[in-house]
Amino acid sequence: MSKTFEDIKAWQLCRKFRKEIYSITRKFPQNEKFILTPQILRATISISSNIAEGFGRYSYQENIQFCRIARGSVNEVLDQLYVALDERYIIKDEFDKLYKEGRELERSINGYISFIKNQKVSYS
């Protein structure tokens, strides 16, 4: 059982993913400074923040709900990566790497949700 949100594997993957998204957005053109860049960064931050907030709620249902929000944010970031690819802000190799990591992150969040559900059953 995790003692802090930092112990959660999904959160650790979120942190790594967030760092990579921050790095890639530094290459976006200046005209995206107020459009795509802040949107993708907010969505990326939302992933790990929701996992952390859910952990701190000490309620199985609330924790699961925050993880579902995090999972939705993963998909939001993946969609925004398509925008970056379509606008040629990133190359296909960068896109493929980040897309794969995003899907792995989504699977990790799904695994964490399953873990939470199993914990609830165990303590009921």
User: What would the pLDDT profile of 54-102 be if each residue is shown by its tens digit?
Assistant: 999 989 999 999 999 999 999 999 999 999 999 999 999 999 999 999 9
Number of domains in the chain: 1
Whether 2 maps to a domain, the answer reads no
**pLDDT value of residue 43:** 98
Whether 62 maps to a domain, the answer reads yes
Question: At 1, is the pLDDT very low, low, confident or very high (cuts 50, 70, 90)?
Answer: low
Whether 1 maps to a domain, the answer reads no
Residues in the chain: 124
Does pLDDT of 124 surpass 60?
no
Question: At 42, is the pLDDT very low, low, confident or very high (cuts 50, 70, 90)?
Answer: very high
User: Helix H segments across the chain?
Assistant: 9-25, 36-56, 60-86, 92-123
**CATH code, domain carrying 14:** 1.20.1440.60
Q: Residue 17's domain spans which residues?
A: 7-123
